[in-house]
Amino acid sequence: MAVAKRRVVSVLGSTGSIGTSTLDVIARHPDRFEVYALAAHSSVDAMLAQCLAFSPRYAVMMDEAAATLLQKRLPADAVTEVLQGESGLEDVVTAPQVDVVMAAIVGAAGLPSTLAAASAGKTLLLANKESLVMGGHLLMQAVRESGACLLPIDSEHNAIFQCMPVDGRATPSGKGVSKVLLTASGGPFRQWSHAQMIAATPDQACAHPNWSMGRKISVDSASLMNKGLELIEACWIFDLAPASVDVVVHPQSIIHSLVQYLDGSVLAQLGNPDMRTAIAYGLGWPERLESGVPPLDLVATARLDFEAPDEYRFPCLRLARESFAAGGTAMAVCNAANEVAVAAFLDNGIRFTDIPVVIERTLEQVDNVEPTSLSVVENADAQARQVAAGFLVDFRQTGGRVKQV
């Protein structure tokens, strides 16, 4: 009996939380997967450890100094070659040897490589939601034209994918579906008043009650912008109108999302809050793999609560929905302004409640145009960052912070 060929994987964002979880799952199945390339921004120590553990053919560092240092620190007999920058990323996602690309670079920086992987017809494990938020039309078009297989890795979209019928290319069918219900934990500020959130610190915003994530995505979760971005992502992946996607706050994070059907049935995917479940599902699809996640104990869980989101206290959810409805480059502008505002908040430059104010003002200032190419999207992203950063400069010069609306 012939031995099945190992699937060759490139992991982008390998030193982040999704990347390390991906490598954890891969390490459990050495007979099924081979790591071709790892990519990170500048975490040399973490990348060095991963290179020694997995012996990839390539390691890509976006930061030039980090690439130079990594090359020096690798053993002389290492099989790994160090590449640098966007060209290196494109090389390791389009290489003919590569079967699977885990797209887990955080933020807008992940769009070009994600689009390149889709255009090359790879099996694309999409954990970079910003790629769809910024360039949803371009990415989905690339998937269709190349025959790529797109598998969502965000826990919510992975849950929806598991509850929807799909074809052999992992294309979901919305036939018979009346609504999709995206669950949200509510984050650390779920029960905080607006007045309390004004004084929230970055450490408090990053203290997620259920998930272990990076600081940027943790702040997005606290503001519900993460859920707004996921709403946009769901509309693109599953070809849905915003009116067909509801957000439901579910504090326990046990039900990862639900699909409601015309006949009254509601299918839900449940599990412990651990990203390795979704990652293993994507790596093994259409089979299921052992992920290292313990089975759910429903008796110990005891209860499942649900409530509607409060868009007065969490206006980022409304802003994301409105940017999708506006179409064009509004979603790219919304995402860029959010990234600038979150970075400023994490640097103690603005208050937590200033984040949606910066986003809304930037959306008002930047023209919305048709996203006909990657360069158009990138130009809108750059313009939005400049406008948002200009607000921050004004605030610092006046010694104040963003005026509340």
- Tell me the sheet residues that pair with 249: 184, 307
pTM: 0.90
Tens of pLDDT, residue by residue over 85-111, are 999 999 999 999 999 999 999 888 899
The series of mean pLDDT values per 10 residues for the chain, 405 residues long, is 79 96 98 98 97 98 97 95 96 98 91 96 94 92 96 96 88 90 94 94 88 84 94 94 94 95 97 96 96 94 93 96 95 96 94 95 96 94 96 67 46
* Helical segments of 269-327, H only: 276-284, 298-301, 316-326
* Distance from C-alpha of 267 to C-alpha of 146, rounded to nearest angstrom: 31
Tens of pLDDT, residue by residue over 324-339, are 999 999 999 999 999 9
- Supply the pLDDT for residue 395: 65
Comparing C-alpha atoms, which of 337, 275, 285 is closest to residue 130? 337
Phi (first) and psi of residue 395, to 5 degrees: -65, -40
Please, what's the largest Cα pairwise distance for the chain? 74
- Tell me the sheet residues that pair with 258: 181, 268
327-397 has which CATH code? 1.10.1740.10
* Distance from C-alpha of 30 to C-alpha of 18, rounded to nearest angstrom: 19
- Supply the pLDDT for residue 405: 37
* Distance from C-alpha of 364 to C-alpha of 287, rounded to nearest angstrom: 46
Comparing C-alpha atoms, which of 166, 157, 172, 160 is closest to residue 258? 160
CA atoms within 13 A on the CB side of 348: 3
Burial class (CB in 10 A: 0-12, 13-18, 19+), 272: middle
- Supply the pLDDT for residue 217: 87
Q: Which distant-in-sequence residues (6+ apart) come within 8 Å of 95 by Cβ?
A: 10, 36, 37
Please state the CATH superfamily assignment of the domain spanning residues 7-152 in this structure.
NAD(P)-binding Rossmann-like Domain (3.40.50.720)
Domain boundary assignment for the chain = 7-152, 154-273+294-317, 327-397
* Distance from C-alpha of 200 to C-alpha of 367, rounded to nearest angstrom: 32
* Distance from C-alpha of 380 to C-alpha of 135, rounded to nearest angstrom: 11
CB 118 within 8 A of CB 94: no
Tell me the pairing of strands 255-261 and 266-270.
Answer: antiparallel
> 155 is written with which tokens?
């826990």
- Supply the pLDDT for residue 397: 61
Distances (CA, A) of 48 to 54, 73, 335, 347, 405: 10, 8, 31, 28, 47
Comparing C-alpha atoms, which of 20, 338, 29, 18 is closest to residue 155? 18
Tell how far CA 180 is from the center of its chain: 19
Q: Which distant-in-sequence residues (6+ apart) come within 8 Å of 108 by Cβ?
A: 130, 134, 332, 335, 336, 339, 381
Distances (CA, A) of 325 to 24, 321, 322, 380: 38, 6, 5, 17
Q: Which distant-in-sequence residues (6+ apart) come within 8 Å of 127 by Cβ?
A: 13, 18, 102, 103, 104, 153, 154
* Distance from C-alpha of 39 to C-alpha of 375, rounded to nearest angstrom: 23
CB 105 within 8 A of CB 13: yes
Q: Which residue has the tokens 């769009």?
A: 111
Comparing C-alpha atoms, which of 115, 122, 103 is closest to residue 169? 122
Burial class (CB in 10 A: 0-12, 13-18, 19+), 149: buried
- Tell me the sheet residues that pair with 100: 9, 123
